[in-house]
């Protein structure tokens, strides 16, 4: 609540830039803890002051409004400081997931023409500063490397020095047009091609991040469990920007681990945890979950993959209100669809909600492009004020993905019921064509997940010389138990048509993930489909039509 005891609404902040939103919250609750991370804590006053100091130092080294600066950091307090410093000077952030390696990093540095990059010497599982140094010869626009912690010298600026030096400098506030000036470039995952930079304005960031508030009735009293990577659009919206808009607090993890999340929730009394279904599946199946007091947790969002109904039910059984939603990089760090708070359990189990107010969603038939009927499956199209207007330096892809009237092709297969609630069936490329019959993997995955021995499952198509494609169920068993293709087929046979029964079974210990660990990498080299098609250990049953 603000000084007058009024809850922050979108009307209070819709005229502000991202940096001004922090300034507003710091004026309302200056001494409230904004972020807790490991043993450190920072108040709203301190975050505002430190980001202004770093902003002044960035201006001192010549970084100007509109120039691109990459953030290549794992979750930490310094990421918040760097983020808001760049927002205050009007620089455009080029997000680089901390899990990215040299090829992905170099592409984004070059595509964005990044003038500078914030980086750590050592992050979870990688020395990202070393990768930045390796990429410098291939990134001609990169002139300044700013390192968090150790590793300064030899052409590398120290973040801590910039912070202390900036406190003595004067920050010059630029004029920011919130509707036109870019806040960030969010790069698509690039699993089926070259990543594309979604151009997101200040207005879109504030609108998108605030859109998360209503679906769980988030308030300043909430404490967010920050388990998502902040460099991802989902984590950016829910954990980096949203809490600051409403003066809430964030308890942060550097990287997700189920038991670490339990400890965090118990210690900080976290009330909201937004994650992917995979995060919740790892938690709900963890052998030590009942050793922790998680009773403070009241709600959370689910996105990044189609959510199994069992996850939503698990939350309900623990008095945790879980709600799947839909979003993508093109809609910025905010959702495109969401269920109103209090939506019935049966609806939340099957739906990602409705289009946000001011946003339009429709489904078009896969073959002809005509409008799909109520309840029919088609490709999801979306348009609205939060959807990007273009991809960065990629007019060809912009023309390919956008219709002339502003509708964006999402590539997601959905149906829309008479009340506007949307069910997602997967991506266009997820469809399995088995002897001319189309199979939606999500239907089979939901069924197999009900088997008592199955922890996680991913269904993909594999080459079949007779049918074109076979159905391969890739399964992570519970607690290392053994399960056979015969058992899976017998479990499913009375529940779906015979042609939908899996032809193959591959037992795995984990699924390959897209950088950041949120989405399963289904396609491309090293993806689930690639593994399923080549692994000689899979159990197979060749069938005729």
Domains in the chain, ordered, with CATH? 20-28+43-176 (3.40.50.980), 200-427 (3.40.50.12780), 431-540 (3.30.300.30)
110-137: per-residue pLDDT in tens?
999 999 999 987 655 678 998 999 999 8
Q: How many CB atoms lie within 10 A of CB 294?
A: 18
Residue with tokens 């189309």: 438
Cβ 325 vs Cβ 334: under 8 Å: no
Nearest to 232 by CA among 181, 259, 195: 195
Express each pLDDT in 166-205 by its tens digit.
Answer: 877 789 999 999 999 999 999 987 555 678 999 999 999 9
Beta bridge partners of 379: 364, 413
128-166 pLDDT, tens digit each = 998 999 999 899 999 999 999 876 777 899 999 999 988
> What is the rounded CA–CA span in Å between residue 118 and residue 106?
14
| Model pLDDT, residue 544 | 43
Please list, residue by residue across 96-135, b when 16 or more beta carbons sit within 10 angstroms of its beta carbon and e when fewer do. Answer: bbbbbeeebbbbbbebbebbbbbbbbebeeeebbebbbeb
Nearest to 421 by CA among 363, 341, 358, 338: 338
* Residue among 203, 254, 228, 213 nearest 16 (CA): 203
Residue 276 DSSP class: -
Residue labelled with tokens 């995979």 = 278
Structure-block tokens of residue 485:
């293709």
Long-range (24+ apart) CB contacts under 8 A made by 134-141 are 134/102, 135/102, 135/105, 135/106, 135/109, 138/106, 138/110, 139/106, 139/109, 139/110, 139/114, 141/109, 141/110, 141/113, 141/114, 141/115
| Per-residue pLDDT at 123 | 58
Rounded-to-integer distance, Cα 118 and Cα 414, Å: 39
> What strand order describes the sheet that includes 249-252?
40-43, 33-37, 249-252, 223-226, 272-273, 299-302, 321-324
Whether 163 contacts 53, CB under 8 Å? yes
Q: State pLDDT tens for residues 369-379.
A: 789 999 999 99
Reported as a pLDDT band with limits 50, 70 and 90, residue 227 is very high
Chain centroid offset of residue 128 CA: 21
CA proximity to 323, closest of 306, 308, 310, 338: 338
CA geometry: angle 183, 184, 190, nearest 5 deg: 160
Using the 8-state DSSP alphabet, how is residue 460 labeled? E
368 with 244: CB under 8 angstroms? no
Residue 542 has pLDDT above 70, yes or no: no
Confidence of residue 460 (pLDDT cuts 50, 70, 90): very high
Token pair 């088997």: residue:
451
Mean pLDDT over 221-227 rounds to 98
Which one, of 19, 210, 184, lies nearest residue 94 by Cα? 184
- DSSP letter at 122? S
Whole-number pLDDT of residue 545: 42
Average pLDDT, the chain: 91
Q: Identify the bridge partners of residue 144 per DSSP, sorted by sequence position.
A: 116
Q: Among residues 52, 27, 62, 20, which one has the least CA distance to residue 170?
A: 52
Asked if pLDDT for residue 81 goes beyond 50, the answer is yes
Structure tokens at 382: 């979306």
pLDDT of residue 513: 80
CA 534 → CA 49, 107, 124, 526, 529, distances in Å?
A: 55, 29, 30, 10, 9
pLDDT band at 499 (very low <50, low <70, confident <90, very high): confident
Contact in structure between 19 and 88 (CB atoms under 8 Å): yes
- Encoding tokens for residue 102? 């040299």
Q: With contact defined as beta carbons under 8 Å apart, do 157 and 142 qualify?
A: no
Distance CA 300, CA 328 (A): 18
Q: How far apart are CA 491 and CA 161, in angstroms?
A: 62
Flag whether pLDDT at 2 surpasses 70.
no
* Whole-number pLDDT of residue 124: 59
Q: What is the pLDDT of residue 67?
A: 98
d(CA 502, CA 496) in angstroms, rounded, equals 11
Radius of gyration for the alpha carbons in the chain, expressed in angstroms and rounded: 23
- Residue 57 clears pLDDT 90, i.e. is over it: yes
* pLDDT at position 4 over 60: no
Show the tokens assigned to 113.
């023409």
Q: How far apart are CA 420 and CA 396, in angstroms?
A: 32
* Residue 437 CB burial class (10 angstroms; 0-12, 13-18, ≥19): middle
- Per-residue tokens: 208: 């998108």
SS3 17: coil
Phi and psi torsions of 15, nearest 5°? -95, 0
**Residue 177 CB partners (closer than 8 Å, separation 6+):** none
């Amino acid at each position: 609540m603000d000084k007058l005891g009024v809850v922050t609404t979108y009307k209070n902040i819709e005229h502000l830039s991202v940096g001004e939103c922090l300034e507003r919250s710091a004026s309302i609750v200056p001494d409230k803890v904004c972020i807790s991370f490991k043993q450190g804590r920072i108040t709203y006053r301190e975050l505002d002051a430190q980001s202004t100091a770093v902003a002044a130092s960035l201006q001192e080294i010549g970084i100007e409004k509109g120039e691109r600066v990459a953030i290549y950091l794992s979750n930490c307090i310094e990421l918040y400081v760097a983020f808001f410093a760049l927002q205050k000077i009007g620089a455009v952030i080029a997000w680089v997931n901390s899990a990215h390696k040299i090829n992905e990093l170099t592409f984004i540095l070059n595509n964005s023409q990044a003038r500078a990059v914030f980086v750590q010497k050592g992050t979870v599982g990688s020395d990202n500063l070393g990768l930045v140094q390796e990429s410098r010869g291939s990134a001609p626009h990169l002139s300044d490397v700013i390192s968090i912690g150790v590793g300064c010298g030899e052409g590398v600026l120290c973040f801590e020095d910039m912070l202390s030096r900036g406190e003595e400098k004067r920050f010059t506030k630029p004029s920011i047009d919130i509707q036109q000036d870019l806040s960030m470039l969010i790069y698509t995952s690039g699993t089926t091609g070259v990543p594309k930079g979604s151009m997101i304005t200040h207005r879109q960031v504030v609108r998108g991040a605030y859109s998360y508030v209503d679906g769980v009735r988030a308030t300043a009293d909430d404490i967010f469990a920050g388990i998502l990577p902040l460099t991802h659009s989902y984590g950016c919206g829910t954990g980096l920007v949203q809490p600051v808009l409403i003066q809430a607090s964030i308890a942060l993890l550097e990287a997700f681990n189920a038991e670490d999340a339990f400890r965090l929730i118990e210690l900080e009394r976290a009330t909201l945890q937004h994650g992917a279904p995979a995060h919740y599946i790892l938690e709900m199946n963890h052998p030590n979950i009942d050793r922790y007091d998680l009773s403070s947790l009241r709600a959370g969002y689910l996105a990044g993959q189609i959510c199994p109904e069992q996850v939503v039910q698990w939350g309900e059984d623990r008095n945790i209100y879980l709600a799947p939603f839909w979003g993508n990089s093109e809609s910025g760090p905010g959702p495109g669809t969401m269920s109103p708070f209090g939506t019935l359990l049966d609806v939340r189990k099957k739906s990602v909600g409705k289009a946000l107010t001011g946003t339009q969603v429709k489904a078009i038939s896969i073959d002809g492009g005509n409008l799909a009927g109520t309840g029919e499956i088609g490709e999801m199209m979306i348009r609205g004020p939060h959807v990007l207007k273009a991809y960065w330096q990629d007019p060809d892809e912009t023309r390919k993905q956008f219709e002339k009237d502003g509708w964006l092709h999402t590539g997601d297969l959905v149906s829309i019921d008479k009340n506007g609630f949307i069910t997602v069936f997967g991506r266009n490329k997820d469809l399995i064509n088995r002897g001319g019959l189309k199979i939606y993997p999500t239907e089979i995955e939901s069924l197999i997940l009900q088997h008592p021995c199955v922890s996680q499952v991913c269904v993909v198509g594999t080459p079949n010389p007779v049918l074109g494609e076979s159905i391969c169920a890739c399964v992570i068993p519970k607690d290392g138990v053994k399960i056979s293709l015969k058992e899976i087929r017998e479990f499913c046979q009375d529940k779906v048509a015979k042609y939908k029964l899996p032809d193959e079974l591959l037992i795995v210990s984990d699924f390959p993930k897209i950088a950041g660990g949120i989405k399963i990498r289904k396609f491309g080299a090293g993806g689930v489909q690639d593994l399923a098609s080549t692994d000689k250990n899979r159990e197979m049953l060749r069938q005729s039509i």
